[in-house]
């Protein structure tokens, strides 16, 4: 009798969104492409699979695969800490750069990946008419994620 072999097969794609601390407009166009390339490198070095990235001066959207051995929160901790260090080390922002404390992450099916990638690519266009705060809130509502308004973002005056 042959031993039963089992393999693990996953397709774990996420649409991840996070902003700058206090939603400050610090992600300037002049270094955004470099930042995006750096973030792509972090995802790949952690064993993930990069698909798309975009955003504007106060937030980032990422579409990527995360291996099942890594918790989403661990991947985000690596992404945010390494990229903020890179921004600070390269002096892209005076006074020190930080990301917001939290993030949003939504699973994405293979069939929805093109739509999510297109959504990410159109960030500059989208934010001519809608703020990041409104977009973030709308994403949470669309995905039926319960939240308390007062905890959505850090406030500069209350920390």
- The rounded distance, in Å, linking the Cα atoms of 130 and 20 is 17
Cα 151 to Cα 142: distance, rounded to the nearest angstrom: 18
> What is the C-alpha to C-alpha distance for residues 40 and 35, in angstroms, rounded to an integer?
9
pLDDT in tens, 111-156: 999 999 999 999 999 999 999 999 999 999 999 999 998 888 877 6
Domains of the chain, earliest start first: 13-151 (3.30.70.1290)
| Residue numbers in the chain where pLDDT is lower than 50 | 159
| pLDDT tens figures, 131-143 | 999 999 999 999 9
CA distances from 129 to 68, 123, 140 (A): 37, 11, 19
pTM assigned to the model: 0.92
């Amino acid at each position: 009798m042959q031993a039963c072999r089992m393999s693990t097969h996953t397709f774990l794609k996420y649409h991840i969104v996070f902003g700058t601390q206090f939603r400050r407009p610090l992600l300037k166009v002049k270094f955004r492409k470099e930042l995006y390339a750096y973030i792509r490198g972090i995802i790949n070095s952690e064993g993930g699979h990069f698909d798309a990235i975009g955003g504007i001066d106060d937030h980032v959207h990422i579409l990527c695969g995360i291996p099942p051995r890594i918790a989403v929160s661990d991947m985000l901790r690596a992404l945010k800490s390494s990229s903020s260090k890179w921004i600070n080390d390269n002096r892209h922002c005076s006074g020190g750069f930080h990301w917001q404390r939290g993030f949003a992450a939504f699973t994405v099916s293979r069939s929805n990946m093109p739509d999510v990638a297109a959504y990410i690519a159109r960030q500059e266009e989208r934010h001519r008419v809608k703020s990041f705060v409104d977009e973030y809130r709308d994403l949470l509502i669309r995905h039926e994620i319960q939240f308390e308004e007062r905890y959505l973002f850090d406030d500069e005056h209350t920390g």
